[in-house]
Amino acid sequence: MARGVEVPEKASRTAEVVPPTPEQVGAPLEHVAGTPLARLLVVLAGTGARIGEALAMQWGGVDLESGVWNVQRTTTMTRDGSVTLGARTKSGSGRRLGLSSEVVAALKVQRTAVAELRIASSVWDDHDLAFPTTVGTPQHSQNVPKDMRAAAVTVGFPGSFHALRHFAASVGLSSLPLSVVSKALGHKRGSMTSDVYGHLLAGDAMLLADTLGAVLEVGRAQARLASTLASESAGSDELQASPQAKALRRGAGGARTHDLTDYESAALTS
C-alpha cells in the first residue's frame, strides 16, 4: 500500500432510491400517449430494462405471441460519438424477460410504426431494431432522454428513464423474492439488488414481524381456551363425584318413587 493513502473502513453506501408511484409513472405515459416515446416508456416501466437495452431491442429477440424478450445487448457509443449495437448487455450476460399484455400491445403498435418508417425511407439502414431512428439506425442514448425530460417537466415526473427501472424493481420486490427481481434487472449478484433496493425491503421485515406476532397471539389464545376447557371438564368430574351430588341424585330418585302410583311401584319392584 502506498504511503499516505488512507483506505476507508467501509465503502460509501449507495443513496437510497425513492421509486416513483404508479400515478407518477402513469402521468408521462398519458401525456405522450400514441407516440413512440410512450411505447418506449411502457417497455421500460413494464420490464425494468435499461434504456440502452430497450434501444437495442431487436425484433428477432422478441416473441410477441409468447410474450418473451431475450435481452442480449445494449447500445454503445463509439469514440467518434456515433452509436452502435454492443455485443452484450451491461452486466455481460443476457436474460429472458416476460412481457405483460400491455407491453405486447405497445410493441405490436411499434412494429407497425417501424414498418411504415421503413417504407417511407429511401435510405433505410436495417438493424432489425424495435426503436430505431427514422432511417433504421440505433438511437443515441443521450438524444432520447431529451424528449423524456420535456414530458417529465410538463407532468412533474420525478426522474428519468432510470426512475422507471426503480419503479419496476419496487413493484417486483413488493411481491417477489429478491433473487427473481435481481435476475429480471440483470444484476450480476443479488447483493447488488439488495444494496440498491434493500431499504424497500424494510416494509417486508415489518410485515413478517406483524405476521409472526399475529400467529403467536392466535397460538396463545388457543392455548388459553384449551386450558379453560380442561379446567371446566375437571371441575365437572369432581362435582359429579362429590357426596353432595350423589345425595342429590338419590334424593331425586326417591322423590320420583314417591310420586309413582301403587301400580307403577309394584311394577318397578317386581
**pLDDT digit string (tens) for 9-34?**
343 445 677 888 899 999 999 999 99
For the cut 50, the answer to whether the pLDDT of residue 71 exceeds it is: yes
Cell numbers at 255, concatenated: 322423590
- Dihedral sign for Cα 128, 131, 133, 135, please: positive
- How far apart, in whole angstroms, are the C-alpha atoms of residue 25 and residue 175? 19
- How far apart, in whole angstroms, are the C-alpha atoms of residue 228 and residue 222? 10
Cβ atoms 7, 188 nearer than 8 A: no
Confidence bin at 101 (pLDDT 50/70/90): very high
- How far apart, in whole angstroms, are the C-alpha atoms of residue 242 and residue 236? 10
- For the segment 249-262, what is each residue's pLDDT rounded down to a tens digit? 565 555 444 555 55
H/E stretch holding 237 reads: helix 202-241
DSSP symbol at 70? E
Residue 7, pLDDT score? 36
Phi, psi dihedral angles at 85 (to 5 degrees): -90, 125
Residue 15, pLDDT score? 62
* DSSP helix/strand/coil, 97: strand
- For the beta sheet containing 68-71, the strands, ordered from the edge strand earlier in sequence to the opposite edge, are 62-63, 68-71, 95-98
- For the segment 184-230, what is each residue's pLDDT rounded down to a tens digit? 888 777 677 777 776 666 665 555 567 667 877 787 788 889 888 88
Cβ atoms 139, 75 nearer than 8 A: yes
Residue 2, pLDDT score? 42
> CB within 8 A of 98, min separation 6: which ones?
67, 68, 69
- For the segment 113-164, what is each residue's pLDDT rounded down to a tens digit? 999 999 999 999 999 999 999 999 999 877 787 888 888 999 999 888 888 8
* DSSP helix/strand/coil, 16: coil
Residue 3, pLDDT score? 44
Ranges of H-type helices in 32-176: 36-47, 51-55, 101-120, 144-155, 161-173
For the cut 60, the answer to whether the pLDDT of residue 48 exceeds it is: yes
β-pair partners for 77: 83
Share of the chain above pLDDT 70, in %: 73
- How far apart, in whole angstroms, are the C-alpha atoms of residue 112 and residue 114? 5
Indicate yes or no: pTM above 0.75.
Answer: no
Place of cell 439502414: 125
Q: Write down the mean pLDDT value for the chain.
A: 79
For the cut 60, the answer to whether the pLDDT of residue 267 exceeds it is: no
